[in-house]
């Protein structure tokens, strides 16, 4: 049927309308594409450029150089050494097993090393570098670089590892670093990304641990360009991190090494305090351990040897060990009684060799007794009965208060591991902690540093320093940080009558210098170097009445672990005190025979800032001392940097 003009016109209008709609749609789509293209190419160019670059640019952390640790004279106690190592990035390696097999053909590595690396890779993100092995030779590094095209994802690099030049001599003080572990991450609230780097070293003990955040520093970054296989092509730029802060201790390495050598063969602790600043010149515990063993990964044999040694080389006895202070506590009891006015310095107490309290006999060390004895003689001859009597007059609470004034029963804020608090017990302590009533017998035991009383060599050294100076001396280990001097430890005047302190010092001088003094064998004869001190012997076993009847067994006839602890505290010179020294020898027997000679030798080493002349010793001792000095000098000279003997 033939269309009319009207139908043709209507049909033409419909087609034109449809064409217009289609054209408009096409134009809108083209415009949208154009706008999107312009947006991507111009407005979002930087974003897409970055996305593209991420396919060929990696950003890696740069561990900072760990801060160094020095002694007071600038001798490095903890430093960093270069360490060649090989790392792998799992994301860039592709077939990890195949790449590691090729690596073993280039550098001989033990199967257990490869197994540990695989285990570590499974625990880490694919893009985190994992150390396969460290302490490689330069030849190994060169071989890896030559074979780089066949080892995708593997890189040989230079890092820093910790080194302790004086090894065991500073092991307990400086401590050591080791790889960060899951346990470390679980117990510290630290979001530092450095801690996520496998085998990143952090402080585990001692100063290394307590000042970790200060010594660690902050990470830097580097941008590297990699090819399609993940092989590093070039370094684009880097931003160095901030190295850790350098720390200077108040410790004197030479004196520290001497103290360690002098206590060789003993289970002992010794502390030397500078009375002008409170600086800890020596904090020695014997035996010790070589911290380098832990940095490099301690062997099963070495670990077993350290743990099974009955002398406990891992224990920092100087600050961690607490012992009944024995007769070194008598100054506390006497000063408490004098301050309370319950006894005068010239008043005498009769010592028949024992005192009976509530039906129990408390014996003096001298079975025949000392007779009538005053304060001065009681301290010089270390009469026990004198203190059995005066402690009942003054009471335990005032004794405990005096002990705290003199620095006992205090945990000092030192950057050392496991600093002990010790114990100066009183009535409230026994009631609250043990649920028992305090008894008179407890006071009698405490008066001579037995019973519940406990103190560390550190606390005994502080006690002696405070008696010697009459001031609140507080121990200071950190001398400066990045060259900034830290506050000293010399405090205010003690709230104790100076007359009583002076009389106590006179009695301590007689302990060493009087012919009847208990520490006469620790005499210093050099003019102007005279020493004052107090011996102590603390029992670790109960002596029964039957044993006393047949004769008390001598320490040397007992097994080592049942012998008494030996203690000695001292300061010198008498007229112008410079140092206080405290020594505890575990199961050493008597304080006068075991601890006092060690303290005297350490004191002389401090006073002379090196080996003292033989004429500083009594003439009868000089031949023995000369041989001893040779042995110690030989031992110290054998200390290899990074491999000190324990």
Query: Of 327, 382, 417, 592, which one is the catalytic site residue?
Result: 327
Nearest Cα residue to 337 out of 387, 378, 405:
387
Q: Are residues 281 and 379 in the same domain?
A: yes
Residue 584 domain-assigned?
Answer: yes
Distance between CA atoms of 295 and 302, rounded to whole angstroms? 13
Q: Both 273 and 228 in a single domain?
A: no
Same-domain pairing of 298 and 257: yes
Percent of the chain with pLDDT over 90: 62
Which of 220, 249, 278 corresponds to the end of one domain? 249
Q: 29: which DSSP letter?
A: H
Distances from the Cα of 570 to the Cαs of 91, 319, 467, in angstroms? 64, 17, 10
Which CATH number goes with the domain that contains 241?
3.90.1310.10
Is residue 34 assigned to a domain?
Answer: no
Residue 73 to residue 267: CA distance in whole angstroms? 28
Same domain, 396 and 448: yes
Residues 265 and 345 in one domain: yes
Question: Within this chain, do residues 123 and 180 fall inside the same structural domain, yes or no?
Answer: yes
**Does residue 6 form part of some domain?**
no
CA–CA distance, 296 with 462 (Å, rounded to integer): 36
pLDDT tens digits, residue range 535-544? 999 987 677 6
In terms of domains, do 238 and 276 share one? no
Q: Report the 10 Å Cβ neighbour count for 127.
A: 12
What pTM value is reported for the model?
0.85
Q: 14 lies in a domain?
A: no
User: Quick one: pLDDT at residue 645?
Assistant: 39
Closest CA to 491 of 471, 467, 468: 471
Query: What residue ranges of the chain have pLDDT lower than 50?
Result: 51, 640-646
Residue 355 located in a structural domain: yes
Q: What is the pLDDT of residues 290-312, one digit of tens each?
A: 999 998 778 889 999 999 999 99
Residue 416 has a pLDDT of 96
Number of domains in the chain: 2
The pLDDT, as a whole number, for residue 644 is: 41
Q: Check whether residue 294 and residue 191 sit in a common domain.
A: no
- Domain presence at residue 23: no
Asked if 260 and 243 sit in the same domain, the reply is: no
The SS3 call for residue 567 is strand
- Nearest residue to 391 (alpha-carbon basis) of 425, 342, 437, 429: 342
Q: Are residues 105 and 153 in the same domain?
A: yes
C-alpha distance from residue 319 to each of 15, 270, 589 (Å): 101, 9, 21
State both tokens at 447.
Answer: 């008066």
- 411: CATH: 3.40.710.10
Domain end (from 249, 279, 296): 249
Q: Is residue 270 part of a domain?
A: yes
Domain of 468 in residue numbering reads as 253-637
Q: Are residues 296 and 212 in the same domain?
A: no
Among this protein's residues, is 456 annotated catalytic? no
Q: Would residue 508 count as lying in a domain?
A: yes
Residues 75 and 156 in one domain: yes
Of 193, 228, 249, the position where a domain reaches its end is 249
């Amino acid at each position: 049927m033939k269309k009319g003009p009207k139908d043709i016109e209507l049909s033409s209008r419909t087609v034109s309308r449809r064409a217009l709609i289609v054209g408009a749609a096409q134009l809108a789509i083209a415009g949208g594409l154009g706008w999107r293209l312009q947006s991507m190419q111009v407005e979002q160019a930087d974003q897409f450029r970055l996305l593209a670059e991420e396919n060929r640019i990696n950003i890696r952390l740069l561990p900072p150089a760990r801060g160094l640790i020095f002694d007071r004279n600038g001798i490095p106690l903890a430093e960093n050494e270069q360490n060649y190592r090989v790392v792998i990035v799992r994301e860039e390696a592709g077939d990890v097993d195949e790449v590691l097999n090729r690596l073993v053909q280039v550098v001989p590595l033990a199967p257990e090393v490869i197994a540990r690396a695989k285990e570590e890779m499974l625990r880490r993100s694919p893009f985190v570098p994992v150390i396969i092995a460290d302490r490689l030779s330069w030849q190994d590094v060169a071989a890896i670089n030559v074979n780089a095209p066949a080892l995708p994802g593997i890189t040989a690099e230079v890092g820093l590892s910790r080194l302790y030049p004086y090894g065991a001599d500073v092991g307990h003080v400086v401590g050591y670093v080791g790889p960060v572990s899951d346990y470390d991450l679980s117990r510290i609230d630290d979001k530092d990304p450095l801690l996520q780097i496998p085998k990143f070293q952090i402080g585990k003990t001692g100063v290394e641990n307590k000042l970790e955040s200060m010594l660690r520093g902050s990470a830097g970054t580097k941008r590297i360009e990699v090819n399609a296989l993940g092989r590093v092509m070039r370094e684009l730029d880097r931003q160095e991190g901030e190295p850790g802060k350098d720390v200077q201790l108040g410790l004197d390495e030479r004196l520290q090494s001497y103290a360690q050598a002098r206590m060789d063969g003993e289970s002992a602790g010794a502390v030397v305090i500078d009375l002008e600043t409170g600086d800890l010149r020596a904090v020695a515990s014997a035996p010790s351990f070589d911290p380098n063993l832990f940095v490099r990964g301690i062997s099963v044999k070495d670990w077993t040897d350290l743990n099974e040694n009955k002398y406990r080389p891992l224990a920092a006895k100087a600050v961690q060990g607490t012992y009944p202070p024995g007769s070194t506590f008598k100054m506390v009891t006497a000063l408490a009684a004098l301050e309370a006015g319950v006894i005068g310095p010239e008043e005498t107490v009769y010592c028949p060799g024992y005192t009976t309290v509530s039906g129990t006999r408390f014996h003096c060390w001298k079975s025949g007794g000392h007779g009538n004895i005053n304060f001065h003689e009681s301290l010089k001859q270390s009469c026990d009965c004198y203190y059995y009597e005066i402690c009942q007059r003054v009471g335990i609470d005032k004794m405990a208060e005096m002990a705290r004034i003199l620095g006992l029963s205090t945990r000092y804020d030192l950057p050392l591991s496991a600093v002990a608090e010790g114990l100066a017990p009183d009535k409230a302590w026994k009631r609250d902690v043990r649920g028992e009533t305090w008894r008179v017998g407890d006071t009698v035991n405490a008066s001579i540093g037995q019973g519940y009383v406990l103190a560390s060599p550190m606390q005994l050294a502080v006690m002696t320093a405070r008696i010697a100076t009459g001031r609140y001396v507080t121990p200071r280990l950190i001398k400066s940080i990045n060259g900034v001097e830290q506050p000293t430890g010399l405090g205010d005047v003690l709230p104790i009558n100076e007359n009583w302190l002076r009389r106590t010092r006179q009695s301590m001088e007689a302990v060493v210098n009087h012919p009847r003094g208990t520490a006469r064998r620790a005499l210093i004869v050099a003019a102007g170097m005279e020493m004052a001190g107090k011996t102590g012997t603390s029992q670790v076993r109960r002596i029964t009445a039957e044993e006393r009847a047949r004769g008390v067994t001598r320490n040397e006839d007992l097994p080592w672990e049942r012998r008494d602890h030996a203690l000695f505290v001292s300061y010198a010179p008498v007229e112008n005190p410079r140092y206080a020294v405290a020594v505890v020898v575990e199961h050493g027997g008597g304080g006068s025979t075991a601890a006092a000679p060690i303290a005297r030798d350490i004191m002389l080493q401090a006073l002379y800032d090196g080996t003292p002349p033989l004429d500083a010793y009594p003439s009868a001792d000089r031949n023995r001392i000369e041989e001893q000095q040779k042995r110690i000098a030989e031992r110290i000279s054998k200390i290899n940097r990074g491999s000190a003997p324990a």
